[in-house]
Structure 1
Amino acid sequence: MKKHLFITIITAFLLLSCGDSKEEIQTIKIKGLYSIELPEYLTKTTGLDNSASLQYQNTLREVYIMVIDEPKSKLEKAIKENALEDYYTPDLDGYAKLLNEGIETRASLDSVPQLISKKINGLNAKTATFTGNSQGIDIYWSLAFIEGKNNYYQVMIWTLADKKEQYKETMKAMINSFKETNKSKK
């Protein structure tokens, strides 16, 4: 009888532990500008980048995300004031190129990130994934440059390079969940 009970308990435990491993999702809304869906294991932080409107992390899993939003007029002004019209256009292509080149100067990349044009919830976007080394640590990045009605958005997600396979689909889902809200479209 005890053996039968033990087998039943072990079987139940195995069935429960092999059940749906789908992660719980939280929807984060920022400043009436946008929303993004993140795994619940990510928690709010403030130490990633002072200019980011969204910063979440899980230091145990080594997963980090930040979003920077900037008015379109800021890009146009920066290009004009710095006489960069010959190098960058005041549009999504120019924004993505400018920031992409900035990444290349701050990290040792395995290859130059190739920007891919796509739509994210109706918004024009450029996305890229790449690996490299920053401050002696091998990193896998997934990023998106997104054009909203009045703003550009930079979504940057990273983890350790050896965790790429574990998190790349989750990172892709986070980027693809980005939505500009109605308040930002006025």
Structure 2
Amino acid sequence: MRLFFFYIVTFFITSYSFSQEFTTEKGGHCYTLEIPNYLTKTYDLNDSATLQYKNTLKEAYIIVIPDSKDELTSLGTTFIDSKEFLNFFIKDYQIESKNRTITDVVEFKSNQKKHAQVEMTFNVNENDFYMLITTVETETHFYKILCWTLLENKDKFRDDYIKTAKSLKD
């Protein structure tokens, strides 16, 4: 009987955990992003990221890395748009990983900003991963939004990741 009760409680908790609310969080250079409420703020995912969220139990992660256009120009690097910026980034990203696949770039506008987006799968240390990579161009910055999870969890988090990636406001 206890085992049956345990399974019922676990089912309801799990069912509830995938219909989440979002909160708007501020990051780095005065931008905001809608983050699912099942993620918690962290500082240990990437040294360059100004916004980092994770849930290690669900294997869900989101980071944002801003790049100032002025700083890029001072380094002799300029990009025409978010698509060119994305292609430059993904060209070598996870290149050593096994079974690396990348979808075609999808371009769209959200919050009056140009976005470019790909979905990537790859294998590291016998673990299959899914990652949604979105770049956003604003007047002064390019942003990389990286959202990832285990490949088996892709369908659980993909819609949340897309909503988050579309929500950036600068």
TM-score range, shorter chain: 0.7 to 0.9
Look up the equivalent residue of 1:72 and give its one-letter code: K
Q: Distance in 2 between matches of 1:77 and 1:109?
A: 36
Q: Distance in 2 between matches of 1:38 and 1:97?
A: 25
Is 1:168 equivalent to 2:165 in the alignment?
no
Structure 2 contact 129–148 (Cα < 8 Å) conserved: yes
Q: Distance in 2 between matches of 1:73 and 1:105?
A: 28
1:179 aligned counterpart, secondary structure? coil
Q: Which has the larger radius of gyration?
A: 1
Is 1:177 equivalent to 2:146 in the alignment?
no
Give the equivalent residue in structure 2 for 1:50. Answer: 47
Q: Distance in 2 between matches of 1:109 and 1:119?
A: 30
Is 1:76 equivalent to 2:80 in the alignment?
no
Higher mean alpha-carbon deviation, 114-123 vs 55-64, is at: 114-123
User: 1:114 Cα deviation (Å)?
Assistant: 1.8
Q: Please provide the CA RMSD for this pair.
A: 2.4
Q: Distance in 2 between matches of 1:23 and 1:95?
A: 31
User: 1:173 Cα deviation (Å)?
Assistant: 1.1
Pairwise mapping of residues 53-132 of structure 1 onto structure 2 (< 5 A)? 53-79=50-76, 90-92=79-81, 93-132=83-122
Give the equivalent residue in structure 1 for 2:124. Answer: 134
Look up the equivalent residue of 1:172 and give its one-letter code: I
User: 1:113 Cα deviation (Å)?
Assistant: 3.6
User: 1:38 Cα deviation (Å)?
Assistant: 1.0
Q: Distance in 2 between matches of 1:42 and 1:126?
A: 24
- Cα 1:75–1:32 change in 2 (3 A) is closer
User: 1:106 Cα deviation (Å)?
Assistant: 4.8
Look up the equivalent residue of 1:112 and give its one-letter code: I
Give structure 1 stretches of 5+ with no counterpart: 1-12, 81-88, 181-186
User: 1:130 Cα deviation (Å)?
Assistant: 2.1
Give the alignment's TM-score, normalised by structure 2: 0.82
Structure 1 contact 65–155 (Cα < 8 Å) conserved: yes
Give the alignment's TM-score, normalised by structure 1: 0.75
2:104 aligned counterpart, secondary structure? coil
